[in-house]
Amino acid sequence: MSEVVQAPPKEKVKFLWNDKEIEAKPGSNLLKAALDNKIEVAHYCYHPGLSIAGVCRMCMVEQEGVPRPFPACNAVVTEGAKVRNDTAQIKAAVEWTLQLHLVNHPLDCPICDQAGECGLQEYYMKHGVYDSSMIDKKVHKDKVQDIGRNVMLDAERCILCSRCVRFTDEVTVTHEMGIVNRGDHAEITANESLKNYYAQNLVDICPVGALTSKDFRFKQRVWFLDDVETTCIGCETGCSVKVSFNQNDAYRVKPVFDAAVNGYWMCDDGRSIYKHVGRADRLATFMENKSGLFLPAIETEVMGTLKNKAKKFILSTFLTNQEYAQFFEAIKGQKVEVALYRLPQHKLEDGRDFDGLLRRADKNPNIKGAEAAFKKAGFDASDEGLNKLLGNLGNKDAAFIVMPEVVYNEDHLETLVKKVKPAGAKVALTSNESFYFMKDFDYLLPLPTFLEKEGTITNFKGMERKISRARNTWGASDKSVVTYANLMFGE
């Protein structure tokens, strides 16, 4: 046994950055410590979720006692260090390095989607370097390349920060991206079409407009967009995301850093979870099936008809914990059957349930919350429970199916819909009426989407995740499943 008693490691290291005192955990990256403390430090190649490249040379600092300037991204915090990046020498160095970044950059900001959130543009405007002092011909490279998975590559705009290469090497380990050639002929290239399911992150981490989203390209100027932070409902992982809006329309989903769940990333599937939200044919009012044609119906009449039937509810796994709780509260003491429809396991391409990163085969975003709520209220959330409910359906019954919002396997859902056929009234509560089998229902009742309500869901880890309202409710969709339950059983 060692007799040396080690002092407990220090909790915090204190150092000065341009005379401002900063605290950081021992061993923290110096640049990250500064950025986390809201200090602006120009940087392109550094990304907290990737290894250190140290190639853009923008985050240069001086430190008392260190003979030469060095990049902050390749240093760790040291107790008592006096770090500066506001000296004349460093400022000139950064300005010149910026100037050198622009030497072969096309400066085509007016037609670039990155404009407004481009690291290069941001700094050159700040430093007043609006054009390079180079009058010689620029090196030309391939400008419009579709590299697959919704990603477009413009090699001329690339500043060779290598983030995308490190991402496919280190995060997805799929090795599609590389930098070929030397010197100023060096060029980002995709060896083959992208094959990873996280490709949109490349667009996020590209500090310039070299990698853009084919989906988002030319759709919106980013300065018109507002973000709301919420949780992805694409699977049970529950990644923290932000959805960008212009007025009432959503345009894209990006990950929000969350150490406990998704780190800096999200999968490509999650990028399209908002697509049903802004559909022009979103259900706005109650609808009734009149010989295969859905026509607007009067709410009280519909409710009147349904009230007389025996009520059977099939809930989805897309409701918030609050909705489950309030729903069960609303039906307390009533004669009602409730079951849960869970989306089938959607195996990943290689047959796995989990890819080791974020994607999971269980596409039920709040399965944990639903199960807990059913248990608490004394209902059976299992498939047997569902089958039992389905097996007893008859003419006197009204079957209410709360439709899942994001469906990977419509056929499976259709099977469910077919099974409620014996019911006297078949009612879909839905925020998404794009399914081809909607004609099998007698009534359609609008629901809010996940972007139109507040609450929480419980992810695979049992963590409560926030669902935030981003958008005004659509038509009648301010009525939730709880509202309908109250209408059905209330006074």
Neighbours of 472 (CB within 10 A): 10
Exposure string (b/e) for 366-385, b if CB count within 10 Å is 16 or more?
bbbbbbbbbeebebbbeeeb
Rounded Cα distance, 18 and 194, in Å = 43
Figure out which of the listed residues 63, 150, 172, 189 binds another protein, where binding follows CB under 8 A: 189
Shortest Cβ distance from residue 72 to another protein (Å)?
12
- Minimum Å gap between C-beta 122 and another protein is 16
Give the whole-angstrom CA distance, residue 78 versus residue 14: 7
> Taking CB under 8 A as the rule, does residue 178 contact another protein?
yes
Closest contact distance (angstroms) between CB of 37 and another protein is: 24
Q: If binding is defined by CB under 8 A, does position 60 make contact with another protein?
A: yes
484: left (phi over 0), alpha (psi -120 to 50) or beta: alpha
Closest CA to 463 of 265, 261, 264: 261
Interaction of residue 97 with another protein, rule CB under 8 A: yes
What end-to-end distance do the CA atoms of the chain give, in Å?
A: 75
Nearer to another protein, 162 or 262 (CB): 162
Does 442 bind another protein (CB under 8 A)? Our answer is no
Provide the angle, in degrees to the nearest 10, between the axes of the packed helices 481-489 and 321-330. Answer: 0
Find the part of the chain contacting another protein (CB under 8 A) among 13-21, 173-181, 327-335, 366-374: 173-181
Q: In angstroms, give the least distance from the CB of 487 to another protein.
A: 59
Among positions 13, 22, 42, 56, the unique one binding another protein when judged by CB under 8 A: 56
Closest CA to 52 of 36, 75, 77, 22: 75
Nearer to another protein, 186 or 377 (CB): 186
Please give the Cα distance from 389 to 423 (Å, whole number).
11
Smallest distance from another protein to CB 115, Å: 21
Q: Spell out the SS3 assignment of 285-310.
A: CCEEEECCEEEECCHHHHHHHHHCCE
Amino acid at site 361: A
The torsion angles phi and psi of 121, rounded to 5 degrees, stand at -65, -45
Site for another protein in 128-147 (CB under 8 A): 133-134, 136-137, 139
Number of separate helices (H) and strands (E) present in the chain: 11, 22
Find all residues with CB under 8 Å of 205, minimum gap 6, and list them: 47, 49, 50, 163, 164, 167, 264
Query: Least Å distance between CB 90 and another protein?
Result: 10
CB closer to another protein, 53 vs 241: 53
Interaction of residue 96 with another protein, rule CB under 8 A = yes
Q: Is 101 in the site for another protein (CB under 8 A)?
A: yes
For residue 104, state whether it binds another protein (rule: CB under 8 A). Answer: yes
* Closest distance of CB 233 from another protein, Å: 34
Residues 198 to 227: which contact another protein by CB under 8 A? none
Query: Is residue 74 close enough to count as binding another protein by CB under 8 A?
Result: yes
Q: Could you tell me if 330 and 419 are in contact, meaning their C-beta atoms sit under 8 angstroms apart?
A: no
57 binds another protein (CB under 8 A): yes
Does 335 engage in binding with another protein (CB under 8 A)? no
- Note the residues at the interface with another protein (CB under 8 A): 52-57, 60, 68-69, 71, 74, 92-93, 96-97, 99-101, 103-104, 133-134, 136-137, 139, 159-160, 162, 175-186, 189, 191
